[in-house]
């Protein structure tokens, strides 16, 4: 598949999946049920092992099982993207090769964090990665977590790497589209990872959103994105208005904890997160409950029951 074709396939509403745990271990059955619900709800893609999926605290075997589940259940209907970015180039290569071997459609690679590389170092990091794997790459710019930010010149340089098909931005700064797009070829997709500004990003020219909130409201988030892409902006903004309370509540604390807490209130999913993350505070719990109550629909979605997967049904 060409870069242009694959970039066009990866778009719309893509769920940054949570990773369910039960008694400290990966809950494979819970993940199967959650992924199947996402697919039945019309979501356009699956992102596994990201920050929302607590990727940094997953071991190699857990990552492999998560990828296998997503690829098996997706059955090629939607793309499976795997987050593989670390602060170490060698480890990033290893995790990307694992994703490629297990059938992922693309890798979602954050900028190296903590070490604060220069712009030149960032380019070398991705060049080395591209030399080591044929898997298409979506580069994730998240300055609030990495302490480094892509410049327009670096974005243009990264777009020259043959396997790069997209840049995802989590800054919430809509001016990025105007600053970056003129220097990018058409096959490079621009994506948002910031739920609050996801709709505005799409309207401004983005081609998709990687969403934490879509774990909770897959149908609504997908409808919002599709309405925007079809230029039904009034409908898209009505949906955004409905989701605003949820977006705000989920941002009160770290997304894995808040998203899992919401899912625990709605479904048979444990709210457990791994240290250093902990469960949400009482104030956040109240905000999430208020947001869910205001939607009054997702608790009634007919998601596959984990028990059905445990029984092989």
Confidence (pTM): 0.92
Q: Is the dihedral of CA 163, 166, 168, 169 positive or negative?
A: positive
Percent of the chain at pLDDT > 90 equals: 82
Indicate whether 136 pLDDT > 50: yes
* Per-residue confidence (pLDDT) for residue 148, from 0 to 100: 87
pLDDT, averaged across the chain? 92
Q: How confident is the model at residue 296 (pLDDT cuts 50, 70, 90)?
A: confident
Indicate whether 211 pLDDT > 70: yes
- Tens digits of per-residue pLDDT, 86-101? 999 999 999 999 999 9
Q: How confident is the model at residue 308 (pLDDT cuts 50, 70, 90)?
A: very low
**Closest Cα to residue 111, out of 137, 88, 73, 141?**
141
Decide which of 3.40.50.1970, 3.40.50.720, 3.50.30.30, 3.20.20.70 is the CATH code for 3-232.
3.20.20.70
């Amino acid at each position: 598949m060409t870069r242009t074709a694959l970039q066009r396939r990866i778009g719309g509403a893509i769920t940054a999946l949570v990773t369910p745990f039960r008694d400290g271990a990966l809950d494979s059955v819970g993940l199967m049920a959650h992924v199947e619900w996402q697919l039945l709800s019309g979501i356009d893609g699956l992102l596994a092992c990201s920050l929302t999926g607590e990727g940094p605290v997953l071991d190699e075997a857990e990552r492999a099982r998560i990828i296998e589940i997503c690829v098996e259940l997706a059955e090629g209907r939607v793309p499976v993207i795997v987050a593989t970015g670390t602060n170490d180039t060698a480890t990033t290569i290893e995790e990307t090769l694992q994703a490629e071997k297990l059938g992922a459609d693309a890798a979602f690679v954050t900028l190296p964090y903590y070490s604060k590389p220069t712009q030149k170092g960032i380019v070398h990091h991705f060049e080395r990665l591209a030399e080591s794997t044929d898997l298409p790459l979506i580069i994730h710019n998240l300055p609030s977590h990495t302490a480094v930010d892509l410049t327009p010149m670096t974005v243009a340089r990264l777009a020259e790497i043959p396997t790069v098909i997209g840049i995802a931005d989590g800054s919430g700064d809509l001016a990025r589209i105007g600053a970056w797009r003129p220097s990018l070829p058409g096959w490079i997709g621009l994506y948002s990872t910031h739920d609050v500004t996801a709709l505005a990003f799409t309207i401004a020219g983005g081609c998709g959103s990687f969403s934490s909130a879509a774990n909770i409201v897959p149908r609504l988030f997908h409808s919002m994105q599709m309405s925007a892409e079809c230029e039904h902006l009034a409908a898209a903004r009505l949906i955004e208005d409905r989701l605003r309370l949820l977006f705000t509540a989920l941002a009160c604390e770290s997304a894995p904890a808040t998203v899992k807490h919401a899912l625990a209130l709605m479904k048979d999913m444990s709210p457990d997160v791994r240290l250093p993350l902990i469960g949400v505070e009482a104030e956040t719990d109240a905000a999430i409950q208020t947001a869910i109550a205001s939607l009054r629909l997702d608790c009634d979605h007919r998601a596959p029951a984990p028990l059905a997967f445990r029984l092989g049904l």
